């Protein structure tokens, strides 16, 4: 029994989601091989090899894999899949793009978005927007698994460096999609999916200017990432990749501050596992208060600046 971990990386860094998928892979209990792809990725492959639990790293330094396009990456994974019982990746945008193709190529059903490894072939995953937890037992054969990263703690470095073995690109990497360009949002704030603190704003902010003027300074004072409800994103107050919820990012920070967010079930699906939830809402019956540990019933336009001033004072800023 061996598990293959698909590694996502950028700017020479292993993505946090991959380290969480590694934590899940370790719970399966089999030796783990990692797959690192892309031009100049040897250093990342060596870094991955230093993580506890990794026994070997497969590395293809080929430009065809540079942007994690689903067709060539899944073709390569399927080509090297023979010795592996499980193929695992984080349920990131890339993982959700690549692994279903791998499952199709291997003719198995994917086990998506696991939150717990019960045994090497049984996993728990949320259904109905997180309202029920389903235990799924995989049939014999290969398992293709994506991991809900909010449910696992990132694996840590440790142990002896694992050997890196070169694998070659598939002779005919299939086309389908091609890379045209990317716009990467630059921010000094922590990444939303991995942040310890998240401050999210809702529709009630009323405009992108007010969102920027209230939510972002509070986030910066707390050292937090910024999130938003879907209504705020749809209204253009916040960019798409800030959306928290069923159709956005799933986060589980130490502290989640929901500002003017009603707490619709689809929003809760993305944040209810946060350790401490603070809600600011003028409606004391808003459903967000059912999951909140602390609540301020009041007008956010008054409460947020006051809250921020108190945080700044406490931090000596």
266 contributes a contact to ligand FAD by CB under 6 A: yes
Nearer to ligand FAD by Cβ, of 38 and 202: the residue is 202
146 contributes a contact to ligand FAD by CB under 6 A: no
202 contributes a contact to ligand FAD by CB under 6 A: yes
Nearer to ligand FAD by Cβ, of 137 and 247: the residue is 247
Q: How far is the CB of 263 from ligand FAD (least distance, A)?
A: 7
Inter-residue contact 87 to 141 (CB < 8 Å)? no
Q: How far is the CB of 209 from ligand FAD (least distance, A)?
A: 15
Among 7, 75, 286, 292, binds ligand FAD (CB under 6 A): 286
Q: How far is the CB of 149 from ligand FAD (least distance, A)?
A: 16
264 contributes a contact to ligand FAD by CB under 6 A: yes
Phi-psi region of 307 (alpha: psi -120 to 50; beta: other; left: phi over 0): alpha
Nearer to ligand FAD by Cβ, of 161 and 289: the residue is 289
Return the structure tokens found at 210: 């007010």
Return the structure tokens found at 241: 């990749």
Nearer to ligand FAD by Cβ, of 156 and 299: the residue is 299
243 contributes a contact to ligand FAD by CB under 6 A: yes
227 contributes a contact to ligand FAD by CB under 6 A: no
Q: How far is the CB of 313 from ligand FAD (least distance, A)?
A: 22
Instruction: Output the DSSP codes for the chain.
Output: --EEEEPPEETTEE-HHHHHHHHHHHHH-S-EEEEEESTT-HHHHHHHHTBTTEEEEEEE--GGGTT--HHHHHHHHHHH-TT-SEEEEESSHHHHHHHHHHHHHHT--EEEEE-EEEETTEEEEEETTTTEEEEEEPPSS-EEEEE-GGGSPPP-B-SSPPPEEE-PPPTT---S-------PPP-SSPPGGG-SEEEEE-GGG-SHHHHHHHHHHHHHHHT-EEEE-HHHHHTTSS-GGGBBSTTSB----SEEEEES----HHHHTTTTT-SEEEEEES-TT-THHHH-SEEEES-HHHHHHHHHHHHHHHTT-
272 contributes a contact to ligand FAD by CB under 6 A: no
Nearer to ligand FAD by Cβ, of 41 and 246: the residue is 246
Nearer to ligand FAD by Cβ, of 188 and 285: the residue is 285
300 contributes a contact to ligand FAD by CB under 6 A: yes
Q: How far is the CB of 157 from ligand FAD (least distance, A)?
A: 34
Among 152, 248, 255, 274, binds ligand FAD (CB under 6 A): 248
204 contributes a contact to ligand FAD by CB under 6 A: yes
Question: CB nearest ligand FAD: which residue?
Answer: 245
192 contributes a contact to ligand FAD by CB under 6 A: no
Q: How far is the CB of 115 from ligand FAD (least distance, A)?
A: 17
Among 230, 255, 273, 279, binds ligand FAD (CB under 6 A): 230
17 contributes a contact to ligand FAD by CB under 6 A: no
Q: How far is CA 206 from CA 16, 230, 233, 283, in A?
A: 33, 13, 11, 16
Among 203, 219, 253, 292, binds ligand FAD (CB under 6 A): 203
Residues that bind ligand FAD (CB under 6 A): 202-204, 229-232, 243-248, 260-262, 264, 266-267, 270, 280-283, 286, 299-301
């Amino acid at each position: 029994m061996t598990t293959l971990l698909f590694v996502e990386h950028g700017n020479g860094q292993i993505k946090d989601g991959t380290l969480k998928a590694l934590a899940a892979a370790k719970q399966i209990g089999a030796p783990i091989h990692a797959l690192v792809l892309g031009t100049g990725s040897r250093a990342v492959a060596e870094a991955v090899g230093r993580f506890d639990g990794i026994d070997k790293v497969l590395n293809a330094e080929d430009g065809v894999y540079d942007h994690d396009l689903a067709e060539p990456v899944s073709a390569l994974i399927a080509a090297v899949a023979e010795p592996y019982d499980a193929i695992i990746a984080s349920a990131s945008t890339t993982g959700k793009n690549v692994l279903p193709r791998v499952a199709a190529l291997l003719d198995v059903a994917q086990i998506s978005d696991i939150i717990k490894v019960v045994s090497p072939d049984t996993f728990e995953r949320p259904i109905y927007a997180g309202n029920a937890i389903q235990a799924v037992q995989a049939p014999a054969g290969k398992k293709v698994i994506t991991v809900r990263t909010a449910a696992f703690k990132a694996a840590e470095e440790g142990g002896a460096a694992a050997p890196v073995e070169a694998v070659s690109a598939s002779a005919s990497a299939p086309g389908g999609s091609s890379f045209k360009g990317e716009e990467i949002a630059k921010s000094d704030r922590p990444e939303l999916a991995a942040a310890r603190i998240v401050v999210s704003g809702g529709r009630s902010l009323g405009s992108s200017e007010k969102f920027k003027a209230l939510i972002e300074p509070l986030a910066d004072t707390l050292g937090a990432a910024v999130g938003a409800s879907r209504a705020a994103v749809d209204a253009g107050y916040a960019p798409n990749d800030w959306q928290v919820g069923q159709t956005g990012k799933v986060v589980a920070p130490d502290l989640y501050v929901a500002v003017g967010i009603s707490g619709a079930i689809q929003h809760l699906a993305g944040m209810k596992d946060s350790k401490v939830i603070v809600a600011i809402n003028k409606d004391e019956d808003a459903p967000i208060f059912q999951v909140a540990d602390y609540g301020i019933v009041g007008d956010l336009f008054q409460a947020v600046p006051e809250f921020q001033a108190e945080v700044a004072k406490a931090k000596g800023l």
